[in-house]
């Protein structure tokens, strides 16, 4: 070869769609087709670029160029989706391990006070903390935030949790501040802006961010939280709120941007959970993001983890509802055979709770997945084959469903099974 092969930088520029010079473009293309080693380098650079994009390693210019190529490149979009899902799986696994390994707050407290030297130091620290609180309590910041929290105690503005805000149902139309509160909100905003200008720092920026989050100004909120993290990058609460802002922004965005924002949200919430494994807001929001990323297994694990830390608050009730919804959705994506197989496995192990849950998840589907329908079919086919054992098991399982329905819901529909004839009787609704 007379000319030197293009450098990695040229390959990268080519893949980012930034080679404007036709001669260079043709040279890269020709080599890609004719030089096996060069073609491998292009493939490797392409994969590296996708990974760097997903891992946030591209600078702003490269990130923009890369994003611009996505619309016309389905192969690259699939690669990005795959890398994002792998990243989400890795992130979902990491903090769960850390949180499960970390001692509970109570255990840590017991261990702490078990050592007299720490107990004395703690008393001194408490005195200092009280003094500081009295001093700073005179300022506007905390008072404004208390007023803001008060305004949202009937209905919260975002699905994601904002750190420090008490539980309130999600306010779709009602429950939040009324039109008469606009003046108060404006007053709070001005004071928070003033505080952020006069004493710029992690706290003033975070509070302003929280204000914007309540006003559903997610871009502004994210900007303030990012700025707060420049002052204190180790503040779990700010990471959690930034994750919440990205999450809400994602929900309002088009698909490609949505996935990117959800990934960024997961990064922040994972960082928050790593910094403080007991920060419930971060754990709750992280579960929401995994759910929105359509990673049901990870989302379910994350909700379960949340419920280990908080099992009794109204937030826990929401967590349970989300968990139940995920289980219903997962059942919808199972094949009929998988549903029946799972049900029979639970039935054989006498795991009544699980067997009943599978039945509950599918009975409303009115299609082939419904357990009684499948058991009836299995029974008839077994009878036709002369497989008495399978027929008896199907029958027994069907009786089990019938008894459960009668006891739990006073429903006799599933008990209308014939006792002496092989073919099913007409049901109450008159269907086959």
Partner 1 sequence: MTKEVTREKFTNFLAWLSPGGGDGGEAYEKLRFCLFTFFAQRRCPFPDELADETINRVLLKSSEERIENKLAYCYGVARNVYRESLRKDRGRIDIEEVSLAAREPEGESFFGECLDKCLAELPDESRDLIIEYFSEDKAAKIDLRQRLSDSLATTQTALRMRVMRIKLKLKACIRECMG
Point out which span in 67-75, 311-319, 351-359, 420-428 binds partner 1 (CB under 8 A).
Answer: 67-75
Q: Is 334 exposed, middle or buried (0-12, 13-18, 19+ CB in 10 A)?
A: middle
Size of the site for partner 1 (CB under 8 A): 53
Site for partner 1 in 162-191 (CB under 8 A): none
Q: Give the Cα separation of 291 and 273 in Å (integer).
A: 17
Q: Does 73 bind partner 1 (CB under 8 A)?
A: yes
Minimal distance, residue 43 CB to partner 1, in Å: 6
Q: Does 380 bind partner 1 (CB under 8 A)?
A: no
Q: Within a 10 A sphere around the Cβ of 216, how many other Cβ atoms?
A: 15
Q: Does 252 bind partner 1 (CB under 8 A)?
A: no
Residue 69 or 215 having the CB closest to partner 1: 69
Region for residue 21 given its phi and psi (left: phi exceeds 0; alpha: psi -120 to 50; beta: otherwise):
beta
Closest CA to 156 of 146, 164, 147, 166: 166
Q: Does 337 bind partner 1 (CB under 8 A)?
A: no
Residue 33 or 135 having the CB closest to partner 1: 33
Q: Give the Cα separation of 330 and 322 in Å (integer).
A: 12
* Cα-only R_g, the chain: 29
Q: Give the Cα separation of 241 and 272 in Å (integer).
A: 9
Bridge partners of 156, per DSSP, are 170
Site for partner 1 in 75-134 (CB under 8 A): 75-76, 78-79, 81-83, 85-87, 89-91, 93-94
Tokens 């990205």 correspond to what residue? 246
Maximum pairwise Cα distance, the chain: 89
Minimal distance, residue 277 CB to partner 1, in Å: 15
Q: Which of 295, 339, 346, 371 binds partner 1 (CB under 8 A)?
A: 295
Q: Does 324 bind partner 1 (CB under 8 A)?
A: no
Positions that interact with partner 1 (CB under 8 A): 14-15, 17, 25, 29-30, 32-34, 36, 39, 42-44, 46-48, 51, 54-56, 69, 71-76, 78-79, 81-83, 85-87, 89-91, 93-94, 233, 255, 267, 271, 274, 293-297, 329, 333
């Amino acid at each position: 070869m007379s000319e030197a092969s293009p450098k990695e930088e040229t390959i990268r520029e080519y893949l980012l769609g930034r080679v404007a010079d036709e001669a260079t473009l043709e040279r890269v293309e020709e080599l890609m087709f004719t030089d096996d080693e060069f073609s491998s380098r292009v493939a490797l650079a392409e994969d590296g670029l996708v990974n760097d994009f997903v891992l946030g390693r591209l600078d702003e210019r490269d990130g923009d160029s890369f994003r611009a190529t996505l619309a016309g490149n389905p192969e690259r979009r699939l690669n990005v989706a795959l890398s994002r899902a792998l990243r989400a799986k890795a992130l979902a696994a990491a903090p769960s391990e850390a949180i499960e390994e970390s001692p509970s707050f109570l255990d840590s407290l017991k261990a702490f006070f078990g050592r007299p030297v720490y107990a004395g130091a703690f008393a001194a620290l408490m005195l200092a903390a009280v003094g500081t609180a009295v001093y700073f309590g005179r300022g506007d910041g905390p008072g404004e935030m208390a007023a803001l929290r008060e305004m949202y105690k009937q209905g919260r503005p975002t699905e994601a949790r904002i750190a420090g805000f008490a539980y309130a149902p999600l306010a779709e139309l009602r429950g939040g501040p009324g039109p008469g509160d606009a003046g108060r909100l404006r007053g709070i905003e001005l004071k928070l802006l003033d505080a952020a200008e006069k004493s710029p720092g992690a706290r003033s920026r975070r509070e302003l961010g929280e204000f914007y989050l309540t006003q559903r100004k997610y871009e502004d909120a994210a900007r303030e939280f990012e700025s707060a993290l420049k002052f204190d990058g180790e503040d779990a609460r700010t990471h959690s709120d930034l994750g919440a802002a990205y999450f809400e922004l994602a929900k309002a965005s088009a698909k490609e941007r949505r996935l990117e924002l959800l990934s960024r949200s997961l990064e922040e919430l994972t960082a928050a959970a790593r910094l403080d494994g007991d920060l419930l807001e971060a754990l709750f929001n992280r579960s929401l993001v995994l759910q929105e990323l359509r990673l049901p297994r990870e989302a379910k694990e994350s909700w379960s983890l949340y419920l280990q830390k908080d099992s009794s608050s109204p937030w826990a009730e929401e967590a349970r509802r989300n968990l139940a919804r995920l289980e219903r959705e997962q059942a919808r994506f199972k094949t009929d055979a998988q549903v029946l197989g799972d049900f029979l496995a639970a039935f054989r192990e006498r795991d009544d709770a699980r067997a009943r849950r599978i039945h509950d998840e599918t009975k409303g589907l009115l299609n082939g997945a419904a357990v009684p329908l499948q058991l009836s079919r299995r029974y008839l086919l077994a009878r036709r084959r002369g497989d008495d054992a399978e027929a008896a098991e199907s029958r027994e399982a069907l009786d089990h469903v019938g008894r459960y329905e009668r006891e739990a819901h006073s429903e006799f529909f599933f008990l209308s099974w014939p006792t002496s004839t092989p073919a099913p009787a007409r049901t109450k609704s008159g269907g086959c």
